[in-house]
Amino acid sequence: MVSRTIFCLSAFLVLLALATSASSSKVLSPYYYNHVCPKALATIKRVVEAAVYKERRMGASLLRLHFHDCFVNGCDASILLDSTSTIDSEKNALPNINSLRGFEVIDQVKSEVDKICGRPVVSCADIVAVAARDSVVALGGPTWAVQLGRKDSTTASRDKANNDLPSPFMDLPALINNFKRQGLNERDLVALSGGHTLGSAQCFTFRNRIHNETNIDPKFVKQRKPTCPLVGGDSNLAPLDPTPAHFDVAYFNSLVKKRGLLRSDQALFNGGSTDGLVKAYSSNAKAFWADFAKSMVKMGNINVLTGKQGQVRLNCRKVN
């Protein structure tokens, strides 16, 4: 009887260990590289900071790269894959083509990290996630503990990029629904949209807003029209807020003043359910920073590949 009890207990402990191992392999951790490559994060930070100091706009580009990766099949670096006979690159999707930037910086980070680690142990998906955080910090924004241990995908989907990425022409219900499909709520929507405190937008994304919409400050319209005429100048840039190289709450202040550059920006403050959050963030940078950091971690966990799923790419632009 005793031996049978011991056998049952041993079997239970083995099953428990296997279950724990299986579940832990699905859980990301900020300490994932502490033993396999303790200098990995410092190396990523060094390269990203140099790139952002060289061109401040690059910080916004690297943040956007992470966003556009996570919203299409999860945070798996599928956004980095070039087109091949079997890969329909997401780079060629309408929201990304001639718009998404920062790929060369990711390549440089990968090269430097693999060199310092002695082998390719840091995934491209993790590099994109850490680069986004380090870009925000370099431009005066908050920090957060990036969860690590993602693996890289072996596929990409231009069609899903076209269908799943939020459009600058969306109204509030469409935005809420778009984020909800990713497991993100209205607070996440407003906080993550606050990433538009950095960077610029091309004329074709805001032409209709400044020429035809009415929920916009006339003085702002007058400022923007020379940059974006009714015809031509599609790729002309305008800042998303008055301080596009500094992570602050100017974006939310602009929305309150009806100076949102994109329709999808002003939709957050247009008599709808998100007005209160926009107003709160506009006067409370600490609250915005805290929520932005939480939402970035939450977004970074979308449909990640871990354990034996996926791979650690040798070259971020192609499958091993």
* Residue 149 vs residues 38, 81, 100, 306: alpha-carbon distances, Å: 14, 19, 25, 6
Q: What mean pLDDT comes out for the span 64-85?
A: 97
- The answer on pLDDT for 19 being more than 90 is no
Residue 205's pLDDT is 97
Annotated binding site: 69, 72, 74, 76, 78, 90, 166, 196-197, 241, 248
Residue 118's pLDDT is 97
Domains of the chain in sequence order: 39-164 (1.10.520.10), 172-298 (1.10.420.10)
Residue 27 pLDDT level (bands cut at 50, 70, 90): confident
Annotated binding site for substrate: 166
What is the tens place of the pLDDT at every residue in 126-154? 999 999 999 999 999 999 999 999 999 99
pTM beyond 0.75, yes or no = yes
Residue with tokens 């070259």: 315
Residue 250 pLDDT level (bands cut at 50, 70, 90): very high
Residue 18's pLDDT is 40
What is the tens place of the pLDDT at every residue in 185-200? 999 999 999 999 999 9
Cα–Cα dist 138/30, whole Å? 19
- The answer on pLDDT for 63 being more than 90 is yes
For residue 239, the surrounding DSSP H or E stretch is strand 237-239
In the predicted model, what is the mean pLDDT of the chain? 93
Query: Exposed, middle or buried: residue 7 (CB in 10 Å: 0-12, 13-18, 19+)?
Result: exposed
Q: Which of 35, 66, 68, 246 is catalytic?
A: 68
Residue 256's pLDDT is 98
- The answer on pLDDT for 311 being more than 70 is yes
Annotated binding site for heme b: 196
DSSP letter at 99 equals T
Active site residue 66: no
Q: What percent of the chain has pLDDT over 90?
A: 92
Query: Exposed, middle or buried: residue 139 (CB in 10 Å: 0-12, 13-18, 19+)?
Result: buried
Residue 26's pLDDT is 55
274 with 264: CB under 8 angstroms?
no
- The answer on pLDDT for 109 being more than 80 is yes
Residue 61 pLDDT level (bands cut at 50, 70, 90): very high
Residue 140's pLDDT is 98
- The answer on pLDDT for 8 being more than 70 is no
Annotated binding site for Ca(2+): 69, 72, 74, 76, 78, 90, 197, 241, 248
Length reported for the chain: 320
